Amino acid sequence: MSVQSFSLSPFDSVFEPATLNFSGSVERIDHRLVLQYNLFDDLSEVLIPAAKSPNRQHDLWKTTCFEFFLSGQDDRQYWEFNLSPSGDWNAYRFDHYRAGMQEETAFSSLPFEIETRSHQTSLTIELDLTLIQIAQSIDLGITAVIEQFDHQITYWALKHCGKEADFHIRESFALKL
C-alpha cells in the first residue's frame, strides 16, 4: 500500500494557519499501521509535555496529545490511542459510540518515537494490528489535542462531524486503509 498524507484542521481555533500546521502520513503494511505526525509551531505557542520514562496514563487528552481512532470497516467496535509527547500513552476499546470503554489489555506498551526541534514536534508509531485482531480494511480517524502556553485547548482532526469537537463520531474516521 502507498503512503497517504494528511493534514489536521482545528475545530475552533485562534491559531493562524501560517503559525501552526499539523500534517503527517499513514501507511498500512500487511498487519502494521505506521503513523507519523508533524506539528509545526512557528511561534512556539504549543505546550509540549517534557519527555520522561513512558507509562500507561489516563487523561492524556487534558494537554497536548496526539490521538488516533480505528475500527474495522462496518464494525461498531473501535479503539482510541492516546500518545503524549512526554512518552506516556494509553489505548482504549469501545463497544460502540462512547459505550463500553475499557483499557485495551492487548498492549503492555506502545513504543513510539518523539523528536522535538525548534518549532517542530514529530511523533512516529508502528502499531501491530494483529494484537487487536483487525485484519480487514480499517477506518482511521487521526486527531490531536493541542494546549497553548496560555492553557487554551484546541481540537484538531482530519474531519469534524459534530456541533462540538468529538473525535468519537464514526463519520470522522475519514481515512480508509
What is the span of the domain harbouring residue 82?
A: 4-163
What's the pLDDT band for 173 if we cut at 50, 70, 90?
very high
Query: Average of pLDDT values for 2-16?
Result: 84
Q: In total, how many domains does the chain have?
A: 1
> What pLDDT, on the 0 to 100 scale, is given for residue 65?
98
Assigned domain for 171 exists: no
Assigned domain for 98 exists: yes
- Using one digit for the tens of pLDDT, what is the confidence trace for 51-89? 999 999 999 999 999 999 999 998 999 999 999 999 999
The DSSP call for residue 100 is S
Assigned domain for 172 exists: no
Dihedral (CA of 173, 133, 94, 125) sign: negative
> pTM higher than 0.85 for the full model?
yes
Assigned domain for 85 exists: yes
Statement: residue 110 has pLDDT above 70:
yes
Statement: residue 1 has pLDDT above 80:
no
Assigned domain for 87 exists: yes
Assigned domain for 91 exists: yes
Assigned domain for 48 exists: yes
Q: Quick one: what percent of the chain has pLDDT higher than 70?
A: 96
Which CATH number covers residue 14? 2.60.40.1190
> What pLDDT, on the 0 to 100 scale, is given for residue 135?
74
Assigned domain for 90 exists: yes
- b/e sequence 4-28, b meaning 16+ C-beta within 10 Å: eebebebeebebeeeebebebebeb
